[in-house]
Structure 1
Amino acid sequence: MDPAFVQDVLRVMERMKARGFPMVLLEGFRSAERQNRLAGGSTKVTQAKGGESKHQYGLAADLAPVRGGKVVISGSRMARLSCTRRALSASRAVAMIGAEGRV
């Protein structure tokens, strides 16, 4: 993963934890093959095919909150945060998630 992006993601995770929302990294780099499986599966995790996702370039990460010692994964925006280098600003991401007040 891009070193500067990794630092951004770590800052988001630290700020979320400080606000009472510990996060875990679900996935960073993805191979084109994995991306194609996620895009082509019956649950359609993503629309981006191999080569179309920033995951293949080390510029995207998927985070999920931890509640009661368990990773919470669901379809809600609050339960999963996708970060990209272009869109990620640690304070912006924290504000976006914190605005809803709960995870």
Structure 2
Amino acid sequence: MQMRLPIAAAGFLLLAGIGAAAAQDVIIAPEQETVIREYVKKQPLASVELPGVELNIGSTLPKTVELHEVPDTEYRYVVVDNRTVVVDPGTRKIVKIIQ
């Protein structure tokens, strides 16, 4: 019985940590996502290659990558390995991958 309490406490702390991490996720409003999608279609960029960088939500792009503005939004974009990624310019983290 004594062993169950620490295990339960550890499980609770783990779940609390997961919840805190999820709270930091960036959610782009649907109308902003529409603006971004339409803009990047009209302003295609040449694709760059970033060996060793995984294209996942939350991945950070190196400072050597030039980010391009999306008007009327706070985001920037770039095409990496033929995939358009939307980036938070303050953190340089990928917040959306547009297929």
Tell me, yes or no, whether TM beats 0.5: no
What is the TM-score with the length of structure 2 in the denominator? 0.27
Structure number with the bigger relative contact order (C-alpha 8 A, sep ≥ 6) is: 1
Indicate the structure (1 or 2) with the bigger Cα radius of gyration.
2
